[in-house]
Amino acid sequence: MSQRSKFTNLQDSLLILGINKHALDFDSIQQEYLPEYSSKQLQYRYKVLSKQRKYKVDSKRLAEILLRKEQDKKQLE
């Protein structure tokens, strides 16, 4: 039996941010924002969020996280 992955509010926000950038291209969203999940998992989560109408995105917090993510990538290079 597979273990269910729980999405955090931050991951939900990243998913919505990815959808705003890439439309419904879940492969691109998965590669750029949430590599720990499959594109099928992201697609299912989006369907759940759509039903819940849970679209609150804290843009300031997301901007900080994305900046940190970019800085981490640069340090690895």
Query: What is the tally of structural domains in the chain?
Result: 1
Q: Which residues contact 14 (CB under 8 A, 6 or more apart)?
A: 33, 34, 62, 65
Amino acid at the residue 44: Y
Residue 21 in any domain: the answer is yes
Domain extent for 19: 9-76
Residue 2 in any domain: the answer is no
- Tens-place pLDDT, residues 32-47: 999 999 999 998 888 8
pLDDT of residue 23: 81
Where helices occur in the chain by DSSP H, the ranges are 9-22, 26-32, 39-52, 59-76
Residue 62 in any domain: the answer is yes
- Tens-place pLDDT, residues 46-63: 888 877 765 555 556 666
Residue 46 in any domain: the answer is yes
Residue 16 in any domain: the answer is yes
The pTM of the full predicted model, rounded to 2 decimals, is 0.61
Token look-up 């419904």 returns 24
d(CA 19, CA 14): 9
Residue 1 in any domain: the answer is no
Residue 47 in any domain: the answer is yes
Residue 42 in any domain: the answer is yes
